[in-house]
């Protein structure tokens, strides 16, 4: 998702970031698997903020580093904690079912839309207002 969506969002001129509840050591391994260069992308990890999810610190910091308004941001997460933090940050929360939570759980936590996995979300980015104008 991050690599495919990141390329798509970059092409669309939309800023994006990765906010992980893991510390940089553990998040770095995941970024490598996703093909994300942490030196070029905006990456916020647990060791860079005061409080972890469900507090909104990760998402607020990511928006700040992007120069984006959090209220105009979309948070994509795969846990109820992601969605609770998105709600507390006043961002639009979108859920992926690949994190082990059920659709009802993520909807109750505040998901605006729910997708099976990152590929499903990428096919439906237009549903959350992300479009490439050619």
Q: For 10-60, write each residue's pLDDT tens digit.
A: 777 889 999 998 888 888 777 887 778 777 889 999 999 999 999 999 999
The 8-class DSSP code of residue 14 comes to -
Q: Where is pLDDT greater, at 41 or 101?
A: 101
127-130 long-range Cβ contacts below 8 angstroms, 24+ apart = 128/74, 128/92, 128/94, 129/74, 130/8, 130/9, 130/12, 130/14, 130/74
Residue 3's pLDDT is what?
Answer: 55
- The more confidently predicted of residues 21 and 88 is 88
CB 38 within 8 A of CB 28: yes
- Tokens at 127, concatenated: 């549903």
More confidently predicted of 24 and 91: 91
Higher-pLDDT residue of 4 and 42 is: 42
- Residue 134 predicted with pLDDT over 80: no
């Amino acid at each position: 998702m991050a690599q495919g969506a990141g390329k798509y969002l970059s092409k669309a001129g939309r800023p994006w970031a990765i906010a992980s509840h893991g510390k940089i050591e553990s998040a770095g391994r995941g970024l490598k698997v996703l093909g994300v260069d942490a030196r070029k992308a905006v990456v916020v990890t647990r060791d860079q903020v005061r409080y972890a999810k469900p507090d909104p610190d990760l998402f607020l910091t990511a928006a700040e580093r992007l120069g984006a308004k959090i209220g105009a941001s979309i948070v994509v997460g795969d846990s109820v904690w992601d969605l609770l933090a998105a709600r507390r940050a006043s961002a639009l929360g979108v859920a992926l079912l690949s994190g082990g939570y059920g659709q009802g759980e993520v909807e109750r936590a505040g998901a605006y839309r729910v997708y099976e996995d990152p590929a499903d979300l990428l096919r439906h980015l237009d549903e959350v207002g992300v479009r490439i104008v050619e």
